[in-house]
Amino acid sequence: QVQLVESGGGSVQAGGSLTLSCEVSDLTYDYCMAWFRQAPGKEREGVAAISTGGAITYYADSVKGRFTIDKDNAKNTLYLQMNSLKPEDTAMYYCATSLRPTWYLLRELDYRYWGRGTQVTVS
């Protein structure tokens, strides 16, 4: 059973920055990984995804140029650097793993293991 634990969330003023981390307990397989988020009253949406080796990344249009996804396979950790944060970025952020070839589409159905989330609040 793969376990993912997010950290790094918090409250920040608009224009500020935060870095989220996601530790993965099991790397039996080389997973593609992604960050999703869910705001109150809204559906969960894909934010950013990264290939197994980290060379390929995809971003939702709403975060392009502001967020950066990265992974450190040696540390079994996924990151999301968030800059120029806006109030509309307020949400619970989740990390997830995928072994499917359609991982880059940032669809929930392509991701099997999920963390419990970390809250980001921008005011």
**Residue 109, C-beta contacts closer than 8 angstroms, at least 6 positions apart:** none
- CA contacts within 13 A on the Cβ side of 83: 6
Q: Which tokens go with 114?
A: 């999920």
pLDDT of 60 > 90? The answer is yes
* Amino acid 78: pLDDT: 95
pLDDT band for position 27 (cuts 50, 70, 90) = low
Please name the residue that has the structure tokens 């705001």. 39
**Residue 121, C-beta contacts closer than 8 angstroms, at least 6 positions apart:** 10, 11, 12, 90
Rounded average pLDDT over 31-52? 96
Provide the mean pLDDT of the chain: 94
pLDDT band for position 33 (cuts 50, 70, 90) = very high
Rounded average pLDDT over 77-102? 96
